[in-house]
Amino acid sequence: MPEIAFLNGEFLPIDDAKVPVDDRGYQFGDGVYEIVKSYNGRLWALDRHLRRLERSLSEVGITGITVDEVRERILETYERSGISRALVYVQVTRGVLPRRHAWTSASLKPTLLVTVRKFQGVPDELRRSGVEVITLPEVRWGRRDIKSINLLPNVLAAQKAWEAGAYEAIFVEGGYITEGSHTNIFAVRDGRLFTPQEGPHILPGITRGLVIEMAREEGIPVEEGPLSYEALLEADEAFLTATGEEVLGVVSVDGRRMGSGKVGPMTWRLYEMFVDRVERGMDSP
């Protein structure tokens, strides 16, 4: 079960995958990406991820590649790996051109990278205990809805969280929550879910969307809109969503206990619903 890469038409060990120094992803972060998870040999929510990738490509104007091509490479790379529980990373950059900010050719050939690695997921103990988060000022660019490989602010925020002994850093802009360095966030109060609405200020998370769908199907009210920092602190529960984290309870924010200080019942209910969906393969758009 090898961890494997596909790079521009070639399958090879991950450590052997290398791009030219003039690749615009390396020089400028001029590219987009997706991360897909597999369960029991099945890629989860692949169609949803590819739709978001297609939108990201369109928004930054990367042409010369289709999501159908990307899908084929993902499926073939994953099949060659033979890894049942895997994390599949997909990255498309604008291509290779001598360094210049503006790209001067409309016929650039994009660089496509797919890697498949084993994935362990959140440890059971951490899922049961819940996680602590910190908040930081929002300093990222204005198009966070694009899944860009420009992640330096996210990386620095995640590092600050780690140094503070927290699991995640949540960005706050003008007193309102946006999202985490690599997660979306929900608050729970009086049996209702609250989460920032989609728009250029947050990434439309795949797991976020699935959780909203599940909740509404079960008659759980969901309000997508501005979520203030104060409202988050006053919530009964809070949880994070992401491909890797699935649904992960938050027990403190900036050192202040959330609700009972334990993973709340709504969080557990939604996590169990998510697991049930995975087992039944209910991930279609």
Q: Which of 37, 109, 118, 147 is catalytic?
A: 147
Task: State residue 224's pLDDT score.
Answer: 98
The mean pLDDT value of the chain amounts to 96
Average pLDDT over residues 34-45: 96
Q: Residue 74's pLDDT band (boundaries 50, 70, 90)?
A: very high
| Predicted confidence (pLDDT) at residue 1 exceeds the cutoff of 60 | no
pLDDT band at 207 (very low <50, low <70, confident <90, very high): very high
**In a 10 Å sphere around its CB, with 0-12 CB exposed, 13-18 middle and 19+ buried, how is residue 55 labelled?**
middle
Residue 273 has pLDDT above 90, yes or no: yes
Q: DSSP letter string over the chain? A: ---EEEETTEEEEGGG----TTBHHHHH--EEEEEEEEETTEETTHHHHHHHHHHHHHHHT--S--HHHHHHHHHHHHHHHT-SSEEEEEEEE--B-SS-SS---TTPPPEEEEEEEE---S-HHHHHH-EEEEEEE--S-S-TTS-BS--HHHHHHHHHHHHTT-SEEEEEETTEEEEESS-EEEEEETTEEEEPPSSTTS---HHHHHHHHHHHHTT--EEES--BHHHHHT-SEEEEEETTTEEEEEEEETTEEPTTSS--HHHHHHHHHHHHHHHHT----
Give residue 178's pLDDT: 98
CA–CA distances in Å: residue 56 to residues 22, 48, 92, 249: 22, 13, 10, 29
- Region 49-77 average pLDDT: 97
CB 279 within 8 A of CB 41: no
Please report the domains of the chain, with CATH numbers, ordered by start residue.
4-118 (3.30.470.10), 124-280 (3.20.10.10)
Is pLDDT at 184 greater than 60 in this prediction? yes
What's the whole-number mean pLDDT along residues 20-46?
Answer: 97
- The alpha-carbon radius of gyration of the chain (Å, integer) is 19
pLDDT, position 106: 74
**The pLDDT of residue 96:** 96
**DSSP bridge partners of 184:** 241
The phi and psi torsions of 44 (rounded to 5 degrees) equal -95, 130
Residue 105 — pLDDT band, cuts 50, 70, 90?
confident
> How many C-beta atoms lie closer than 10 Å to residue 70's C-beta?
21
Note the pLDDT of residue 258.
94
pLDDT exceeds 80 at position 285: no
* Location of structure tokens 């819940």: 130
237 with 249: CB under 8 angstroms?
Answer: yes
147 is known as an active-site residue: yes
* Sheet with 4-7, edge to edge strand ranges: 10-13, 4-7, 111-118, 86-93, 31-39, 42-43
Of 239, 178, 177, 236, nearest to 212 by C-alpha is 239
Q: Are 194 and 241 in contact (CB under 8 A)?
A: no
Which pLDDT value is given to residue 284? 80
What pLDDT, on the 0 to 100 scale, is given for residue 104? 82
In this prediction, residues 205-223 reach a mean pLDDT of 97
Residue 267 has pLDDT above 80, yes or no: yes
* pLDDT cut 70: percent of the chain above it: 100
